[in-house]
Amino acid sequence: MDQTTTEIPPKIFTCQLCGLSSPFVYYGQKPPNTRAIVLLEECFVTKDPFSPEKEKFLVLGSTCSLCSLCVCVASDCSLFYTKRFCMRCVNKHLDQFPHQIQAELAKKKQQSSKAAVS
């Protein structure tokens, strides 16, 4: 009898802000093959392609705790402050974040506008 093997298509994580797209192997707080690691949020996780060790992994992103947008961990797309927030929600609710975070974001914005000018 002919056996057909159906390959399960990889699950794909896509950042809804920058478009970063990558296969992921796990979504949750306790990645597989890790010993005592529990992440602070539910994350999309992939195997580290640069490491032969099974327990090495990369966090691709998560969902915004306010609007549920799927966002990567790049600083242009999201911010983690007790929970994950997309930058749209951060900018919309900036006054509700601590002053230190507001100052860091203002400084980053200033630096990026200087870089765009030069």
Which pair of tokens denotes residue 42? 């539910």
Alpha helices, DSSP H, located in the chain: 87-92, 99-117
pLDDT digits (tens, 9 = 90+) for 40-98: 999 999 988 888 887 789 999 999 999 999 999 999 999 999 999 999 999 999 999 99
E-assigned strands of the chain?
Answer: 11-14, 21-24, 26-28, 43-47, 57-63, 70-72, 78-81, 83-86
108: DSSP letter: H
Return the biggest CA–CA distance within the chain: 68
Gap between the Cα atoms of 114 and 9, Å rounded: 43
Which pair of tokens denotes residue 46? 């992939």
pLDDT digits (tens, 9 = 90+) for 86-118: 999 999 999 999 999 999 988 888 887 766 665
**Domain layout of the chain by residue ranges:** 11-92
Q: pTM, whole model, 2 decimals?
A: 0.80
